[in-house]
Amino acid sequence: MTFPTYRNLINGHWTPALSGKTILNLNPADHSDVVGAFPSSHAEGVALAVDGAQEAFAAWRLVPAPKRAEIILRAGNILIQNKEKHAHDMTREMGKVLAETRGDVQEAIDEAFYVAGEGRRLFGQTTPSELQNKFAMSIRMPVGVVGLITPWNFPMAIASWKLFPALVCGNTCVIKPASDTPLSTYNLVQALIDAGLPDGVVNIVCGSGPAVGTPLVEHPGVRAISFTGSSAVGSQVAQRAAATFKPVSLEMGGKNAQIVLDDANLDLAIDGALWGAFGTTGQRCTATSRILLQKGIAAHFTAEFVARARKLKVGNGLDPSVQVGPLVNAAQLEISQKYVQVALEEGARLLTGGMVLQDGPCAHGTFFEPTVFGGVTPDMRIAREEVFGPVVSLIEFDTFEQAIAIANDIDYGLSTALYTRNVNLAFTAMRDLEAGITYINGPTIGAEVHLPFGGVKHTGNGAIDFFSTWKAVYVDYSDKLQRAQIDNAD
CATH architecture of 256-440: 3-Layer(aba) Sandwich (3.40)
- Of residues 446 and 65, more confidently modeled: 65
Q: What is the mean pLDDT of residues 227-253?
A: 93
> What pLDDT shows up at residue 339?
98
List, for residues 22-34, the tens digit of each pLDDT value: 999 999 999 999 9
Does the pLDDT value for residue 461 go beyond 60? no
Question: Average pLDDT of the chain?
Answer: 95
Q: For the chain, first and last CA: distance in Å?
A: 84
Which of 100, 107, 118, 251 is catalytic? The answer is: 251
Segments making up each domain of the chain, as ranges: 8-252+460-472, 256-440
Measured from the Cβ of residue 379, the count of other Cβ atoms closer than 10 Å reads: 9
> In which band, very low, low, confident or very high, does the pLDDT at 80 lie, cut at 50, 70 and 90?
very high
Q: Is 285 considered catalytic here?
A: yes
Q: Is 70 considered catalytic here?
A: no
Which residues, in sequence order, are CB contacts of 254 under 8 Å at separation 6+? 285, 286, 287, 289, 386, 412, 413, 414, 415, 455, 459
Q: What is the mean pLDDT of residues 7-17?
A: 97
List, for residues 173-230, the tens digit of each pLDDT value: 999 999 999 999 999 999 999 999 999 999 999 999 999 999 999 999 999 999 999 9
What are the distances in angstroms from CA 237 to CA 215, 218, 247? 11, 9, 11
List, for residues 356-384, the tens digit of each pLDDT value: 999 999 999 999 999 999 999 999 999 99
> What pLDDT shows up at residue 459?
66
Q: What is the mean pLDDT of residues 134-155?
A: 96
Pick from 217, 145, 154, 141: nearest CA to 174: 145
* Fold agreement between 8-252+460-472 and 256-440: no
**pTM of the predicted model, to two decimals?**
0.95
> What pLDDT shows up at residue 490?
62
CATH architecture of 8-252+460-472: 3-Layer(aba) Sandwich (3.40)
With the C-alpha atoms ordered 423, 427, 428, 430, is the resulting torsion angle positive or negative?
positive
List, for residues 316-362, the tens digit of each pLDDT value: 999 999 999 999 999 999 999 999 999 999 999 999 999 999 999 99
Q: What is the mean pLDDT of residues 288-300?
A: 98
With the C-alpha atoms ordered 183, 154, 179, 312, is the resulting torsion angle positive or negative?
negative
Amino acid at 171: N
Which of 285, 362, 369, 396 is catalytic? The answer is: 285
DSSP 191-204: HHHHTTPPTTSEEE
Q: What is the mean pLDDT of residues 408-418?
A: 94
